[in-house]
Structure 1
Amino acid sequence: MLHWERATVTGSRSSWRGVDRLQVEIERDGRGADASVEAETVSAIAYPELTGTPALGESVLLNTNALRRGLGTGGDALVVARLDVLPAPEEIAGHMVKARYTPMQTMVDAIDDPEGEHYATMQGAEDLGGMPVLVADLHSSLPALVAGIRAERHSAKIVYVHTDGASLPAAYSRSTARLREAGLLASVISAGQSFGGDLEAVTVHSALLGAKHVVGGDIAVVIQGPGNLGTGTGWGFSGMQAAEHLHAAAALGGAPVATLRVSNADPRDRHRGLSHHSATTYGRATLAPVHLPILARSDHRYNAFHASVREQVKSSIIKPSRARGTEHVLAEIDAKGLRDALEEMPVRLSTMGRSLGEDPEAFRYAALAGRCAAGLIPPR
């Protein structure tokens, strides 16, 4: 069920490309809201691609599910409709529909649509030619992955593939927008049911081919958007999607690199050291050989914690994969210069509410994966 509420736009807040953040006053008239509660001012998000930009004084219809549940990611109200204005429709050549069969389904021009300008290129695109495909389960890894890539190959052309495991609007990610504005991402491709990237694709497979043949990327980074869903069960988390992304990379002749989720600060035992999410995704669900970057034993930072992570990877990922006939590659990567590269990122590093200073290993292992992937870029 949706929690519907009406509101009036009373101001604007910090916005970014593809997202309008508004200040709204929720109406308390007993129709769609609790009349016993006094009026309140809250933050709301509108996606111009779906609704246009509501103006000051406009009446809007809100979905306040996340707001009323007090959720962290997604805790804003969402503008579903403008009650007094019908935005002019944008002309779309193709027939690609995203967020299909929801009330907010939207038409987009996809790179693999027969009516699209890139269709001829996509028809002939069959192989990634060894292009590294860097996969992670947490969206908060993205800036650290970029930092690691640039520390190894400063001029690498990086394409981010935003999948539909969490936030469907690619524009929701402020980190992605800032990395794009800073020129650190060459393009954002929204795949599957996600939408709002620079380019749209029907599947992760076609997004990867588009990253290589349409954008001309050196490396693709594939991650779900903000809003990872976890349940505490062995298999019930949205990051499981990463296994299929690695399979897509392998099937298309790419070089799959898996980002290990590691923490020395997470209060939950299942995520301390090597996260059980990585152990399950890469050890039990991934059926193609991938690179698993860990800190090199020759690195002066290597200590008992990193030795423990290494043993966890060997026992929970390498051994189960061998039982399935899959030989993962344990890649020892030096961390020299990565801390500086992380601190130079133009976005705030935060994972599960923890900063770089509070949980450095979470970002270090993502940066190691970035450096590993950059080292696999084929010569032109």
Structure 2
Amino acid sequence: MQTTRSSSGASFTPSSRAGPCVHTPSSGASWRPASGSGRRGLLRWRIRRARDNAPDGPLCGSPPLGAGRIRRDLHGRCGADLSPPAVAPSRGRAGSRPARRSWGEKGRSRYSGDLRRAARPLGGRALRGGGARSGAHLLRRGALRSGSGGARHAQRSARDTAEGGAGGARAPAARAGAACPARPLVGDRPGWGGRARRPGHGGGRKGAPRARARAGGPVTGLRRARVLRAEGEHSGAAAFTLEILEGSLAGRQVPGLSYRELGPPPEPGETVLANTAGPEMGLGTGGVALILPRDGSELPENRDHFTKLPYTPLQFPARPARMSGTLRGVPVVVLPLHSHLSPACAAAGGLAPGKRVAFVWQEGGALPVAFSETVRVLKAKNLLHAVVSCGNCFGGDLESPNVYAGLLAAAGVADLVLAGIGPGVVGTGAAYGHGGMSAAVALNAATALGATPVLAPRLSHADPRERHRGMSHHTRTVIRAALGGCRVALPQGADGVDLSGLPERHRYERVGFGAGGLEEKFGLTFKSMGRGYGEDPVFFDAAAAAVALALGGESR
């Protein structure tokens, strides 16, 4: 293998993949690619020529620079024309291969690695143009770097040019004039070689998360709206009818809510700012516009550094509730959906009249307690004593920073503790990507605090979705994620539910008690996903059976 030397005497060996090279002193460059050397060899030829033909002398005589150093040198020291000579490159000797580099690096050289990385984002079109696309243009466009790294190197090049280089060793702008000034990698042209790229699909390292493209409108769904009329107030929420003034719903009337915990409600005729993401997305339970508060009120004294919705524009202080020391001996029932709350409270009222029931409201659905009509009805009928809103949920009778504190706070004011989420469960279709996973958090917390919790499974014989038929996949993932042993209540009608593959650390107990007759007894209406007790009784029986099991009911 033959070593090629430049006019300065420094040895240089290109990558073995680039093809043979020929030493041509008359051309003014130290070497040039032979025929068939490919686009890597062409780019290397341009870089090498720029280094040797710099106005203040060749840049040879030192180990090859990395891609960022090469670009910074070329920004200040190269001429504007880096295109190859008009004379066709001569063909090298058949079978000749240049020698391996000699300055201590083993294997393939770092220089050739930089060139391979430089050629990747260019595609085939950037170099096929020959002299039309000069090396200076490619370097100005950041061809040796992609993504955010290119922007950082371009900024560093501009800084070196302005300050005269690092340590005064090189001052390209001062010596020769910056013929190729550094430019940022975003601006007048869409992408590499004039190839347009979709927003959010830029360069960068492999596997890096892609940047999300920002749309022209607000990403939070904030729209101006006019308050037409008030529709009443209950449980800390004032309802209105709004006319949307902008966006895709402009001119339409939608229901709106204003929460007193965040500020005073607006007046009819007032123009407000409302979040219309729910109606625009076509959500069911959450298809209402949420009105932003028009002004604030006096903040209470800061005692515990406890806020709800922390580090958001709507954060506000809250006072944490007092907590019991343990859950030992306290019956705890974990509910999968908010629609299980009504039959669970009715079952407690039917089996143990006079017992106080507290509901621990977890994240996974609606955050404001005032959003629930069910809570308002159950409190009016004395079937629910208190609500503890945990984490970022707010508006309960008691506030707690997490589920552990919420369970202990509920145990201090009630005889039976129910835990679950608000209306409108979050769902992504993934096994663990749903708000129902809050049930696993509550089971683990109750077990750690000394209780033996009972899980009401999500069962259905009428749900049109196969993944929720029988025992829902939500409940199956919750059971697998519950680390301690718990009791799973199986009501009548669940005899055909498949229990295969579920962990054996839990006890699956069949209970003869159901929710039948509780609606008429307490004047309630059980409803979930548009289906009542008559269409899907096993769904509501699961909640009633879990309460019966927790209160000492016999399993069969």
Q: Give your verdict on TM over 0.5.
A: yes
Hey, what's the Cα distance between the residues in 2 that align with 1:65 and 1:14? 23
Cross-structure match for 2:79: none
Cross-structure match for 1:134: 333
The alpha carbon displacement at 1:48 in A equals 1.0
The alpha carbon displacement at 1:306 in A equals 2.7
Cross-structure match for 2:260: 48
Hey, what's the Cα distance between the residues in 2 that align with 1:81 and 1:306? 47
Hey, what's the Cα distance between the residues in 2 that align with 1:25 and 1:58? 11
The alpha carbon displacement at 1:39 in A equals 2.1
Other structure's SS at 2:228 match: strand
Hey, what's the Cα distance between the residues in 2 that align with 1:38 and 1:198? 37
The alpha carbon displacement at 1:280 in A equals 1.6
Alignment pair present for 1:340 and 2:517: yes
Cross-structure match for 1:191: 390
Q: 1:38 to 1:257 in 2, by over 3 A?
A: closer
Alignment pair present for 1:292 and 2:480: no
- Structure having the higher strand fraction is 1
- Preserved CA contact (<8 Å) 1:170 1:196: yes
Greater alpha carbon shift after TM alignment, 345-354 vs 59-68: 345-354
The alpha carbon displacement at 1:332 in A equals 2.4
- Preserved CA contact (<8 Å) 1:139 1:225: yes
Counterparts of 1:201-350 in structure 2, within 5 Å, are 201-213=400-412, 215=413, 217-282=414-479, 284-295=480-491, 306-309=494-497, 312-313=498-499, 315-317=500-502, 321-322=503-504, 326=505, 328-335=506-513, 338-350=515-527
| Post-superposition CA distance 1:232-282 (Å, at most 9, x none) | 222211101211101111111122010111001000111111111111211
- Preserved CA contact (<8 Å) 1:147 1:370: no
Cross-structure match for 1:79: 291
Hey, what's the Cα distance between the residues in 2 that align with 1:158 and 1:87? 34
Other structure's SS at 2:223 match: strand
- Considering Cα pairs closer than 8 Å and 6+ residues apart, tell me whether 1 or 2 has the greater RCO: 1
Cross-structure match for 1:355: 532
Other structure's SS at 1:56 match: coil
**Match for 1:15: what amino acid?**
E
Hey, what's the Cα distance between the residues in 2 that align with 1:144 and 1:350? 10
Hey, what's the Cα distance between the residues in 2 that align with 1:235 and 1:209? 26
Q: 1:236 to 1:38 in 2, by over 3 A?
A: closer
- Preserved CA contact (<8 Å) 2:346 2:383: no
Of the three residues 202, 217, 239, the one matched with 1:21 is 239
Q: 1:19 to 1:347 in 2, by over 3 A?
A: farther
Hey, what's the Cα distance between the residues in 2 that align with 1:176 and 1:316? 36
The alpha carbon displacement at 1:175 in A equals 0.4
Q: 1:38 to 1:275 in 2, by over 3 A?
A: closer
Hey, what's the Cα distance between the residues in 2 that align with 1:243 and 1:204? 11
Matched length? 334
- Preserved CA contact (<8 Å) 2:494 2:538: no
The alpha carbon displacement at 1:342 in A equals 3.6
Alignment pair present for 1:157 and 2:356: yes
Alignment pair present for 1:174 and 2:373: yes
Cross-structure match for 2:276: 64
**Match for 2:509: what amino acid?**
A
Alignment pair present for 1:145 and 2:344: yes
Alignment pair present for 1:110 and 2:320: yes
Identity %: 36
Other structure's SS at 2:484 match: coil
Hey, what's the Cα distance between the residues in 2 that align with 1:63 and 1:42? 11
| Post-superposition CA distance 1:123-178 (Å, at most 9, x none) | xx321121011102211110011122222212221000101222111111110122
| Post-superposition CA distance 1:61-90 (Å, at most 9, x none) | 0110111111101100010132xxx24224
Following TM superposition, where does structure 1 have runs of at least 4 consecutive aligned residues deviating by more than 4 angstroms? none
The alpha carbon displacement at 1:92 in A equals 4.3
Other structure's SS at 1:344 match: helix
- Preserved CA contact (<8 Å) 1:8 1:59: yes
Hey, what's the Cα distance between the residues in 2 that align with 1:76 and 1:278? 28
Other structure's SS at 2:496 match: helix
Other structure's SS at 1:207 match: helix
Of the three residues 229, 238, 252, the one matched with 1:11 is 229
Hey, what's the Cα distance between the residues in 2 that align with 1:278 and 1:345? 28
Larger Rg: 2
TM-score computed with the length of structure 2 as normaliser: 0.58
- Preserved CA contact (<8 Å) 1:143 1:345: no
Q: Which runs of 5+ in 1 are unaligned?
A: 112-117, 296-301
Q: 1:351 to 1:27 in 2, by over 3 A?
A: same
**Match for 1:263: what amino acid?**
S
- Preserved CA contact (<8 Å) 1:178 1:346: no
Q: 1:92 to 1:9 in 2, by over 3 A?
A: farther
Hey, what's the Cα distance between the residues in 1 that align with 2:242 and 2:525? 27
The alpha carbon displacement at 1:335 in A equals 2.3
TM-score computed with the length of structure 1 as normaliser: 0.83
- Preserved CA contact (<8 Å) 2:264 2:293: no
Hey, what's the Cα distance between the residues in 2 that align with 1:155 and 1:316? 40
